[in-house]
Amino acid sequence: MTLPRFRPAALIHGSDYNPEQWRKVPGIWDSDMRLLNAAHLNSVTLGIFAWAELEPAEGVYQFAWMDEIIDRLHTNGQRVILATPSGAKPNWMAESYPEIRRVGDDGRRRVQGLRHNHCLTSPVYRAKVLQMNTLLAQRYGKHPALLAWHISNEYGGYCSCDLCKAGFRTWLQEKYGSLDALNDAWWSRFWSHTYTAWEQIDRLDGIHGAKLDWKRFMTHQCASFIRNEAAPLRTHSPDIPTTINLMPGITWYDHHTLGREVDFISWDSYPSWNGQHGENSPHWHLGLWTTFWHDHFRGMKRDEPMLLIETTPSQVNWAGVSPLKRPGVHRTANLLGISRGSEGVCYFQFRSSRGSSEKYHGTVVSHDGRDDTRVFRDVRATGELLHALQPIVGSLPRAEVAIIYDYQNIWTLNEMESPVKQALNHTSTCIDHYAPFWHSGVGVDVIEQSADISRYRIVIAPMLQMLLPGTAQRLSAFVENGGILVTTYLTGYVNETDLCFLGGFPGPLRELLGVRIEEIDALPAYRTVPVTATADHRLGLSGTWTARDICELLHAESAEVLATYAGEFYAGMPAVTRKATGRGVAYHLAARLGHDFHSLFAATLLRDAGITLPFAAPLPTGVTAQTRTAADGRRWLFLMNFNETAVTVAGAGGAWRDVESSAAMPATIELPACAARIYSAPATNQKNTTP
Ligand code: GAL
């Protein structure tokens, strides 16, 4: 079956829209139609959480309101991203079929309420979802307004009911064949956990392999739940692409696996703009982190566009402190999404809910119902801008650098009970490695460990503790063929069932990296260790840096030593190593080093990889440049200042022209606080270089 591809004709400017909440308020839909157009929105996401309004009692369907609103939207010039309503089940269903209510770790069945609280295994819930989705697909699958299917909402959480546990046991039987094999894979003789009957597999505490397999099973259940949801959509509207909205930093499921079930990836982005990202963290860190998440979600389907399907037009209701977006932020944050391959910007939500927990969430139209507010103007301006950016549709970010960010590895790190447990900070470590590329305007794909890496020049694998079967071979082939690989402390410790590699870490990467790890030191916050470049090596790094948190004590077996510890009892031991293999090279960073090291190191890697930067002069701190390239070579460059102060940027020269003013890029660009400029350049024959 050929799956439909997400190829919108125009950049999407959309919003979650819940007209079902307003059916009793006369005239409100009329006003919605006017306001949607006035805000320059061209699409809405409809029907999320509308189940109780579509099926108010079992088998009693009321589609008339949906028929009417879809027709009105169509007549009004809007496209519709139609949601399946499975993210929240109606009360009557929870009452009639208690088994669909989720069971917590404590074994208690949850009371009905809130949302995202159904069992993914329950055949009853699956049947109900299948039935509802079939009716929706039959009724609206050919509607000319339909742009895409939005399946459910933010899948998340686990259910521990008897059905799920029985499903888990069956899944394990298929995976391991025998209890003996399972006991070996889980090392369950530890603490006398040896399983002698499948029924004993119930609580998983203490057994890392079991917890890992539980997450895999739950991912498998969620993926099959999505397949069940998608089947009727694909049958009745084979040309309409499907998506799910994913969330950053949430690790219940392997999002890469879920992403394979749909035609394009969407994600929900809610940075606390103009607020605090972390203690003592500058504002631009929000821009950096948000770009990383864009690249993470886009990296799930690297050659496809994605969609920023939820973001707030102003504030959120759940953050405790959610400042108003300062001038410029709305535009710049949205352009960031576009620059990283989103084919549009969608909001949560269009009109403020009158009651309940989200009534104070930011919206396009607030309770005052006005179109002359600051937020409304910001939204309208975004709509106008996206319209002007029409030629960008179909172009994509390209990357020659990749960072591995792998859920299965993250699961093992999260479970890791070790001397360095408190210092792991895996995501921020990945972003420390990502940051220098962001500062240089070099595009990065953030990928899973089993992704094909042959297309990259540089691959960075921070803290890749778990090596799945095939990963070591893929990394070796990558280096062999000329790639530059960077690994760090905590690489190659465990296999796919979380069992430590015997014979020394980094396990199957020992030969490729040329190092053997003997011990790992955990540094309390008050202790740091200097690291000094060795006098004579080819990398050209010089200086002294500071190691924090984690220092591996390792032996360079066949690697060249580029830097050594210059303190502690392990002074003189290798801290940074390099080993050439075939046409490529593998670096290992044994300690957690700071930004000074990372920027110097990344500059060296980029130079060695022959990757040209879009701007010759360094960009000011907190400023990034991101590019999209069309199939015919036309390019767009987004220059974005995430500081709350103005900056001056040295222009890149070349053929870049300002998309909005048509002026050539000046020698000096003045960028106000949180401002963005967009430049375009015609096709050249050069690949990934300044025109
Ligand atoms: C998202 C969710 C939306 C809405 C929004 C509020 O996570 O998908 O339905 O609740 O948060 O910020």
φ, ψ at 424 (rounded to 5°): -65, -55
Helix 162-176 vs helix 179-186: angle between axes, to the nearest 10 degrees?
90
Question: Distance from the CA of 238 to the center of ligand 1, in angstroms?
Answer: 28
Question: Distance from the CA of 265 to the center of ligand 1, in angstroms?
Answer: 17
Count Cα atoms within 13 angstroms, Cβ side, for 356: 6
Catalytic entry in 310, 400, 496, 560: 310
Global model pTM greater than 0.95: yes
CA 45-46-51 angle, to 5 degrees, is 140
- Distance set, CA 100 to CA 89, 456, 460 (Å): 9, 45, 43
- pLDDT given for residue 542 in this prediction: 81
What tens digit of pLDDT does each residue of 468-519 get? 999 999 999 999 999 999 999 999 999 999 999 999 999 999 999 999 999 9
Distance of CA 159 to the CA centre of its chain: 24
CA 657, CA 662: separation in Å to the nearest integer? 6
- pLDDT given for residue 536 in this prediction: 67
Residue ranges in the chain whose pLDDT is less than 70: 1, 536-539, 685-691
- pLDDT given for residue 339 in this prediction: 98
- Report whether 497 contacts 525 (CB < 8 A): no
CA 350-354-360 angle, to 5 degrees, is 70
Catalytic entry in 99, 154, 415, 557: 154
310 is catalytic: yes
CA 638, CA 483: separation in Å to the nearest integer? 28
- pLDDT given for residue 535 in this prediction: 77
Residues in the chain: 691
- pLDDT given for residue 538 in this prediction: 63
* Nearest-atom index, ligand 1, CA of 49: 9
| CB-defined site of ligand 1, < 6 Å | 153-154, 268, 270, 310, 316, 348, 358, 361
154 is catalytic: yes
- pLDDT given for residue 537 in this prediction: 63
CA 196, CA 167: separation in Å to the nearest integer? 18
